[in-house]
Amino acid sequence: MDKHYFTNDYLPKMHRIGKITGVLGVFASFLPALVLGFGHGLWPDLALLATCFITVTTSFGFLWVIEPISYYPVLGPVGTYMAFLSGNISNMRVPCASIAQVSAGVELGSEQGSIISTIGMGVSIIINIIILSVGVIAGSSILAMLPPSVTAALNYLLPALFGALFVQFAVNQKKLAVIMLVFGCVVYIAINKGVFNFLPGASSYLGTLLCVFGSIFIAMAMKKMEGKKTE
C-alpha cells in the first residue's frame, strides 16, 4: 500500500468530503423544524427549548465525547464520518467494520484496516437501507405473525452482538479482556448498589465512561510494563 498516497492524497480528500456531508447532514436534521418555523410560523418557546436541550445534554452529552473516542480505532477516520452520518453505530457499523477487518486479515488502526473498514461500512449502509425499506413496509405485519417467545428473544440481540465483539477482540488481548471483564462487572455492581448515586444521572453514563477510559488507561499501563520487562 502506498502510504504517501494514503496520507497526502486520500485522507485530505476524505476529510473534506466528510466535513461537507456532515454539515449537510446537520442541516437536513434541522430542515423539518426550519420549514415549520419559517414556513408556518411554528416556533418553540425558547425557555422550553433551553430546558429540553439541557435535559438531553445531561442525559446523553457524555456520548458526544465517548463514542468518537471509543469507536475511532475500529472505524478509522473515514468510517467515523460515515458512521455518525448514517447512525446505528454500535449495533451495525462497528460490528461490520471490525468483522471486515478480521476477515481481510488486516491490523486494527492501520491504513489497510481503515480502508477495509470503509468498504465494510459502505456495504453495511447499503444493506441497512434495503432492510429498513422492507422493514418499514412489512415489518409490523411480520412481527405480528411471530410468537411472543421469538419477539421476546429479539431483546437479547444487542447484548449477544456486544458479547461476540468482546470475544473477537479478547482473542488478541486476553489479559486486558479478563481485567476489563472483571472491571466492568465491579462497575456494574457498584452502580446498581447506588455507590455513585451522589452523581446526577450516574446510571445512564458512568458505566460507559469508566469502562471506555478505564480500558484505555489499563492498556497503556500494561504496555509500559511490557516495555520495561523487555529492556
Q: Which of 82, 146, 74 is nearest to 109 (CA)?
A: 74
pTM (predicted TM-score): 0.65
Crossing angle of helices 94-104 and 157-170, in 10° steps, is 30
- Report pLDDT for 24: 93
Angstrom distance (rounded) from CA 124 to CA 146: 26
What does the alpha-carbon distance between residue 7 and residue 87 come to, in Å, rounded to a whole number?
A: 27
- The tens digit of pLDDT for each residue in 17-76 reads 999 999 999 899 889 988 998 888 888 888 878 877 876 776 667 778 777 887 888 888
